Amino acid sequence: MRTTWLGEGLSGLIDLLLPLRCAGCDAAGTAWCRGCSRELGGLRYVERPLLDPGLPVYALGRYRGAARRAVLAYKESGRRYLAGPLARHLAVGLRAISAEHRLDHAWWLVPAPSRAIASRRRGGAHMTRIAHRTAAELAASGCPAAVADCLVTARGAADSTGLDAAERVRNLSGRVLVRTGRLPPPGAQVALIDDVITTAATVASAVRVLAAAGVGVAAVLSLTATAG
Ligand SMILES: [Zn+2]
C-alpha cells in the first residue's frame, strides 16, 4: 500500500513538474489540443464477428495517430491528467448514443476490466478512473450517471498483445468475472466503456458475464477501435 501511495504521489509530482505538452502532437501548453480532440470527436459503429450485431458498439476514433498516442500516454506512461479530457469525449459520445438510439440519458457506467497485475503497475485500474470522471462530466451536463466497477479479469488471463481473435477469446473465456456486490441496480441502463477495441474479445466476454448476472448492456463505447 505504501509503495502505491508513494507511486501515486511521485507520479502526481512529476505531472506538475513537466511542462504540459499535448499527448497527441506534442504542442506546448496543453495536455490535449483542439486539433487532436477531433481525432476522438466521432461516433463510429464497430462491427466484429464476436459481437452481437444488435448491440450498439461505438468508438470515438480510430486507434492510430494522435488518438492512439493519447490512449497509450494515459494508460502506459502514467499521464493521469488525461483522464479528464478523455472522459469529456466519452461523455459527449454517451449523450450522442442516447439521442441516436432514443435511450434514457441516465447511465450506469461499467468500466472494461483490467488485469490486476497491469492495474498495479499503472497505479490503479485506468478505465475505472476514466469512468468516474465520465460520470462526473455527464452529471454536470444534467445526465445522471454512476459507476459500477463490477468486472475483473481473473488471474490466468495473459496479456492479449499479439494474440489473434480466437486466441483472445480462449485467453479470456471464463476469466472476466463479475463482482456481484458491485453490480448496477436492477433495471439500470448500462454502458460498458473501454479504451480500445481490437477483436472485441474483452467486450464480448464482459457482455456475456454481465448477462449471466442478470445485467443487460444497452451500449458499448470505446475511446478507439482498430480498423477491423
Ligand atoms: Zn495535439
Relative orientation angle of helices 83-100 and 126-140, to the nearest 10 degrees = 60
Number of domains present in the structure of the chain:
1
Inter-residue contact 42 to 60 (CB < 8 Å): yes
Cα separation, 65 vs 33, in Å, equals 14
- Asked if residue 7 is part of any domain, the answer here is no
The overall pTM is greater than 0.75: yes
Name the band, by pLDDT with cuts 50, 70 and 90, for residue 2. very low
Q: Ligand 1: distance of its center to the CA of 57 in Å?
A: 26
Cα separation, 59 vs 81, in Å, equals 21
**What SS3 class is residue 126?**
helix
The DSSP call for residue 122 is H
Per-residue pLDDT tens over the stretch 49-74: 999 999 999 999 999 999 999 999 99
The DSSP call for residue 180 is G
Q: Ligand 1: distance of its center to the CA of 169 in Å?
A: 35
Q: Ligand 1: distance of its center to the CA of 34 in Å?
A: 7
Inter-residue contact 206 to 151 (CB < 8 Å): yes
- Asked if residue 21 is part of any domain, the answer here is no
Per-residue pLDDT tens over the stretch 110-130: 999 976 666 666 666 889 999
Inter-residue contact 128 to 111 (CB < 8 Å): yes
- Asked if residue 28 is part of any domain, the answer here is no
- Asked if residue 13 is part of any domain, the answer here is no
What CATH number has the domain bearing residue 147?
3.40.50
- Asked if residue 11 is part of any domain, the answer here is no
Q: What domain range includes position 110?
A: 33-225
Per-residue pLDDT tens over the stretch 170-227: 666 668 999 999 999 999 999 999 999 999 999 999 999 999 999 999 999 999 999 9
User: pLDDT over 70 for what percent of the chain?
Assistant: 80
Would you give the end-to-end CA distance of the chain in angstroms?
40
- Asked if residue 25 is part of any domain, the answer here is no
Q: What residues contact residue 171 under an 8 Å CB cut-off, 6+ apart?
A: 157, 158, 160, 163, 201
- Asked if residue 133 is part of any domain, the answer here is yes
- Ion ligand 1: protein residues whose beta carbon lies under 5 Å: 22, 24-25, 27, 33, 36
Per-residue pLDDT tens over the stretch 153-186: 877 656 667 767 666 666 666 689 999 999 999 9
Neighbours of 189 (CB within 10 A): 17
